[in-house]
Structure 1
C-alpha cells in the first residue's frame, strides 16, 4: 500500500502533480513562518541573556569563590549620542584576580577603554569634540559578541584606577560578573525579561495559530476529489485500512516535502530576519536558532498533522464505499459551539480586580484566556456562518443569492474554513492595536518641540558628592559651553533648601532659578509678577501633569542674593538644535563635570521611559504584518481548493443553462458572507479582550485606535476580496461540458 500511495502521489497524472506542488509550496511557506516565529522567541531569549552582565552591581550576586577574587570597582551609566543610548561601564581592578566582563581578553587599565564595533565605527566617523573626548585615554580593542545584545549595541568599558573610581557616586565593588544563570532575585535582564515573556507568549500564539490554520488548509486541498477516487477504490475491493494507508502516504509525501523546503527557506532568509528590530534592536543571525525540541516538533508534527487531517477527511469513505456518493446534508452546527468563546471571555472578566501577583501567574491567566478565545472563535465560526447564510437565503431576491445561501447553510464548516485564518489575524490585530494604542495614550509618547530636543541638562545632586572629590567646576564649564558654536546660552540651576518654596498646589520644586535668568530663557516659562526666584525642576522642564502654556513656575521664598550662595544642582545649555552643537555641548559638560548623570535632553530622558512602548509597538506591527499575509494565503488556497472540489456540480449547473455570471456571484457570495461575519466578530472580540486585559493588568480603559488600524483592516479585507476575485477566471476553465462528461 505504501508503494501504491507513493505512485498515486507522484505519478498519477497532471492533476496529482499540480496538487502535490501546491500543497508542498503552501506547507513550505507555513513551516518557514512557523520556524521564524519560534526562532524569534528564542532570539529574544538569547539577546536578553547577553544583557545579563550589565546588571552586575544591581543586586547581590555572590561569587562561589569570593575569597580568592580581588574586588572590582563597577559603575554603569547611560550616555547618549544623536538620541541613541550608549551603555558606559567604568571599571577599576583592585588586584590581578578581579573578574573580567564577557567579550574582553583583559580588564582595561587607567586611560584605556574597549568599545563595541558599532561605537568604534562612530568614534572613527565623528569628530572627537562631539564623542571621542568623553572617553579618556585610548581604545585598546573591541568588545566581543558574547557581551553585545545586538550588532548595533553602543557599549564602552572604560578603565580607571581604584582610588579614582572609588570616589565616584554610584560606584560599588563586585566580586563576580552576573550571567543569565546567576541567582539574582529581582534583577531585570535586558528589556525586562519577565514582562517580555508575557508579551512574547501572546505574540507567539498570535502568529502560530494562523500558521497552523494555513498548514491545515493546505493539506486538505482537493479533499473532495480524493474522496471520490478512494471511494471508487473501495468499490473494487480496497479495505478501509488500505485506503487510510494510501491517504496517509499521499498527505505525508507533500507534508514532508513542504517541511524540508520550509527549513530551507528559514535558513535562507534567517540573515534577513535577523535585521528586523522587532525588540528595538536587530539580532545576530545565530540568535535566531532552533533547539532540538523545536526542530523535532516541527519536522515530525507537521507531517503527522497532515496525516491526521487526511484520515479525518476520509471518514465517509471508511464508513461505506458509497459514503461519498450518498450526499446528505450534514447536521447543522449547534449553539454549544459558543461555549469555549464564552469561557475565554469569562476568564478575562474574572481577573478584572483579581490580577495575579506574579508574572508567571499573569502569563497563565491572560495567555490561557486569550488562547481560549482564539479556540472559541474557530469553534463558533461555523455556527455564526450558518446564521449569516440563513439570513442571506431568507432575504434572497436573486438566484445567485439563494444558491449561495443554501450552499452555505448546507455546509457552513467548509465556508468558514476558508476565512478562519483571516478571522484569527483580525483578532490578533485588534488585540495588539487596542492594547498598544491605550498604553501610549495613557502614558504618552515623548514630547516634541525645540525645548525638549535642543536643551541639554547636566545634573549633579549634592547627595551624590563623595568626600574627597573635587567640587564641580561650573564656571569653567559655563565658559567652555558658551564658546561652542551653536550653543545659544547656558545657565545655572541651584539647590532648593528645605521649606524654601511657596507651595505649587501640593508640590514643591527641588531646584531654584533666578527670574532674571528665566526671563532670558523665555522658552522655559516665566515667574509670577514681582518674583525674584522661582522653583523649578533641574532640567527646567515641567512634568506632563504640570505643563501649561506658557508655564508659570511657583514663586520661592528666597532672595536673588541668597540664591547665589546655594549649591548648583544642574547646568542647562540651550542650543540651536543641530546635532553637532548638542553633541559638542554634551561632551564638554561630561568631561568638565564627571559627577552625576550624563547630559541629556528632556526628549531623550522621556524616550527612555517610552522605549518599552516602542518595542511593544514593533512587536504588534510584526504580528499584524505577518498574520494578514498568512491569512490571505490561507484564503487563496481554500478558495482554489473549494472550486476544484465543486467543479462537477458547477459544470452540471452550466449544462442546465445557468449563466457563468451567476456562478461567479455564487462563489463571491459564498466567500464574502463568511468573511464579513467573522471580520465583525473577530474585531469586536479582539477589542473586548484588549479592554479586559487593560482593565485587569493596568486599570486602563480601552482607547479607540487611530486611523492606521482601520486602514489596515480595510486593506486586509480588500486584499481578501481581490484574492476571491482572482479565482474567478478559473471557474470558466473547470466548469466546461467536458468536465461533466469526464466526471
Structure 2
C-alpha cells in the first residue's frame, strides 16, 4: 500500500496536488524557521550585552585579575541614537579584558565599534569626535557587539580620572551572564523584557504560522475523500485507505518541508535587516538548533499524516459517507464562550494588576492567547450568521447560492480567512497599545531641542566638583542655533510640591513657554529641566528668598535651549561634556526618559514587524485556501455552468463566499483587538485607549484590499476548471 500511495502521490494526476500542497507547506516552513531563528537571535544578541554590565560586580564570575581596572559605564546620545560609553582606567598589565579587544585602551586612547567609527569619520569633530579624548587606536570585534549598528566606545583614561566619574567601580572580572539572567544588569534586555518579546513573537506569529501550515496540508481534502470513498466501494479496507492517505499527505508535506528549508536562507537574509530589539542581527546570530530543525523536519510531515487520517473519518465510517453527504450540524452559539472568557480574564485584572512582572506577563499574554483561540473557535459561528443574513437579504441568484453554500459548511468558509482575522487582531492590539503610549508621552516632543545637565549637589562627596555657574563655557552661547543658556540652582527647601530647582523670576519671564512666577515673587521653585507637569506651562511655586541670594546657592542643572537642529544640539552637548567630564552626559527631553523611550521604540518596531509579518502570513493562507477551494469545487461549478448559470454569476458566488466571512470576522477581530488593548491599558497603565491613527486605517484598507485582490485573481481560474470536459471527466 505504501508503494501504491507513492505512485498516487507522484503520478501524473497527483503532481498538481503535490505542487500545490508542497508549495504552500514550503512557504509556511520557511517562515516558521525564520521565526524560530529570530527567537534564537534575540537571545544570542542579548548575551553580547553581558560584558557591558561588568560594573555590576556581583554578576561577574571566574577568578579575579591581578590588576583591577576602574570602570565607569555611561550612556551618551547622537541624533537620538544611544551610544554606550565605557570609561576605563588601567592599573596594570594584568587587567580584565572584554571580548573583541586584545587589551583595554591606555589613557589618551579609545576604541570604538565599526558603526561608531564610520559615524566619527562622517561627522564634524565638534559635534561628536571631541567627546572622546585622545586618539582612536582600535575597532571592537564582532564578539563585543550586539549588532552591526551598535554604537559603543571604550575610552582609556587615568585611574584617577575614572574614579571620580559617576558610577565608577573597580572591576576584577568581566561579566559573561546574559542580562536576562543577571540581577542588577541594566544594559541589554532584562528577563521580563526578553520574555515579553519572545512571548509576543510566539503568540502573534507562531500561532498563525502553524495554522497556515495546517491549512496547506488540508488542501484538496474533499477531492481525496471522494477518491478514497470510491476505493472503499470497490473493496479497499479502512486501514488501506488510511495508509494511502497518510502516504500521499506525508510525501507532499515532506517535499514541502524540504523546499522550505531551501527557501529559509532567503528569509534569513531578510531577517538581518529587521531590528526586532532595536538592533539588527548579525547573520551568525540567526541560527537554528538541531532540536528545532528536527522538530520542524519531522513535525510537519507527522502533522500532515495526522490531519490526513482525521480528514478521512467519514470514509472510514462508510464508503457512502462522502457521496451521500448530508449537511453537518451547524456551529452553535457556545463557540462565543472562549472569546468571552479571554476578554473576561483581561477585564478581571483591571484594578487587580499582579504585583510581579512575571505575574503580569502571565496574566496578559494568557488572556490575549485565549482571545485569539476564542476568535478561531467563534469564527465558524459568525460565518454562519453572516451567511444566513446574506441568503435572507439577497435578491440575486449569486447571493442566494453563496449564502446557502456558506451556511452548509461555514467551517470551510471561515478557514480561508482565519489567518487574516488573526492578523487584524494582532494589528489592532499593537496599534491600540503602542499608539496610546506614544500619545500619552508625546508632550516631551514639544521641546526636543532642550538639553539638560544635572549634578545633584547633595550626592557629591567632599572635595568633588559638580556643576558650577563659573564653569559654564561662554562658548555655549555662541553656538549657532543656541538661543538661551540657563543655570538652575539647588533647592534644599523643596516646598510643598518637592521641586528641586530654583530660578529667578526675571530669568523665567524671558522663558514664557516654561511657565511663570506667582505675583510678587522674586524666585520660583522648578524642576531641574524646567519641564512643566503634563507638558503644560506651569504657574510655579514661589520660594521665600530674594533674587540676590540665589547666586550663592549650589548649582543643580544647566539648561540649554536650541532651535532643535541636530547640529546645534550635538555641538552644545559636546561642549558641555568637555567642560564637565565627571558628570553624566546632557540629555534632551526625550533622552531624559531614555529607558522608557528605548523600550517604546523597541515595542513599536516589534509591533510593526508583527503587523507586517501577520498580514503576509494571512495573505499567503488566503491565497492557498481560495485556490484549493476552487480546485475542490470543479465539478459542482461545471454542472452549474451546464445548467445555464453564467460565468459572471459563478464569479459573484466565489467573491461573496470569500468576502462575507472576511468582512464578518474582520469586524469582530478589530473590535476584540481594541477592547483587549483598552483592558490592558486600563489594568497596566491606567490609560484609556486613544483613537487609532490614520496609518492604522490605511494598513487595514491595504490588508483587506490585498485580500479582495487575491480573491479576484482566482477568477480567471474559473473558466478553465468549469468547462464541459471537467464535468464529463469527473
- Name the TM-score class by shorter chain: over 0.9
Task: Please say if 1:544 is aligned against 2:542.
Answer: no
Match of residue 104, structure 2, among 97, 102, 107: 107
After TM superposition, give the deviation of residue 698 of structure 1 in Å: 3.0
The structure-2 alpha-carbon separation of the partners of 1:455 and 1:434, relative to structure 1 and needing over 3 Å to count, comes to: closer
Q: 1:80-123: CA deviations, max 9, x gaps?
A: 11221111111223444432222221122221221111111122
Q: Please tell me whether the aligned partners of residues 503 and 524 of structure 2 are also in contact (alpha carbons under 8 angstroms).
A: yes
Task: Please say if 1:517 is aligned against 2:504.
Answer: no
Residue of structure 2 in register with 1:711 after alignment: 698
Match of residue 460, structure 1, among 445, 455, 460: 455
Q: In 2, distance between residues paired with 1:673 and 1:486?
A: 58
The structure-2 alpha-carbon separation of the partners of 1:34 and 1:351, relative to structure 1 and needing over 3 Å to count, comes to: same
Q: 1:183-220: CA deviations, max 9, x gaps?
A: 74344451333134124313321111221222122222
Task: Please say if 1:85 is aligned against 2:64.
Answer: no
Match of residue 421, structure 2, among 420, 423, 428: 423
After TM superposition, give the deviation of residue 729 of structure 1 in Å: 2.0
Match of residue 588, structure 2, among 591, 598, 601: 601
After TM superposition, give the deviation of residue 406 of structure 1 in Å: 1.7
Q: 1:468-522: CA deviations, max 9, x gaps?
A: 44565754542232344444443432222425xxx5xx42432223334344455
Match of residue 203, structure 2, among 202, 205, 211: 205
Q: In 2, distance between residues paired with 1:95 and 1:733?
A: 82
Which range moves more in the overlay, 709-718 or 476-485?
476-485
After TM superposition, give the deviation of residue 155 of structure 1 in Å: 0.9
Match of residue 176, structure 1, among 157, 168, 173: 173
Q: 1:25-72: CA deviations, max 9, x gaps?
A: 211111111112122222221222222222333463364544x65433
Residue of structure 1 in register with 2:397 after alignment: 399
Residue of structure 2 in register with 1:18 after alignment: 16
After TM superposition, give the deviation of residue 173 of structure 1 in Å: 2.3
Residue of structure 2 in register with 1:245 after alignment: 243
Q: Please tell me whether the aligned partners of residues 404 and 666 of structure 1 are also in contact (alpha carbons under 8 angstroms).
A: yes
The structure-2 alpha-carbon separation of the partners of 1:304 and 1:515, relative to structure 1 and needing over 3 Å to count, comes to: same
After TM superposition, give the deviation of residue 625 of structure 1 in Å: 0.9
Task: Please say if 1:641 is aligned against 2:638.
Answer: no
- For structure 1, the residue ranges without an aligned partner over 5 or more in a row are none
Alignment TM-score, normalising by the size of structure 1:
0.92
Which range moves more in the overlay, 244-253 or 24-33?
244-253
Residue of structure 1 in register with 2:122 after alignment: 125
Q: Please tell me whether the aligned partners of residues 168 and 466 of structure 1 are also in contact (alpha carbons under 8 angstroms).
A: no
RMSD: 2.5
- For structure 2, the residue ranges without an aligned partner over 5 or more in a row are none
Q: In 1, distance between residues paired with 2:479 and 2:678?
A: 51
Residue of structure 1 in register with 2:259 after alignment: 261
Residue of structure 2 in register with 1:625 after alignment: 612
After TM superposition, give the deviation of residue 701 of structure 1 in Å: 3.4
Residue of structure 1 in register with 2:561 after alignment: 574
Q: Please tell me whether the aligned partners of residues 198 and 359 of structure 1 are also in contact (alpha carbons under 8 angstroms).
A: no
Q: 1:288-309: CA deviations, max 9, x gaps?
A: 2212222122111111111222
SS in 2 for 1:668: helix
Aligned counterparts, 1:242-641, within 5 A: 242-442=240-440, 444-445=441-442, 447-449=444-446, 452-470=447-465, 474-475=469-470, 477-498=472-493, 506-521=496-511, 524-544=514-534, 547-548=536-537, 551-606=538-593, 608-641=595-628
Residue of structure 2 in register with 1:5 after alignment: 5
Q: In 2, distance between residues paired with 1:598 and 1:468?
A: 21
The structure-2 alpha-carbon separation of the partners of 1:514 and 1:178, relative to structure 1 and needing over 3 Å to count, comes to: same
Match of residue 52, structure 1, among 50, 53, 67: 50
After TM superposition, give the deviation of residue 280 of structure 1 in Å: 1.7
SS in 2 for 1:168: coil
SS in 2 for 1:327: coil
Alignment TM-score, normalising by the size of structure 2:
0.93
Q: In 1, distance between residues paired with 2:545 and 2:162?
A: 36
Aligned residue pair count: 729
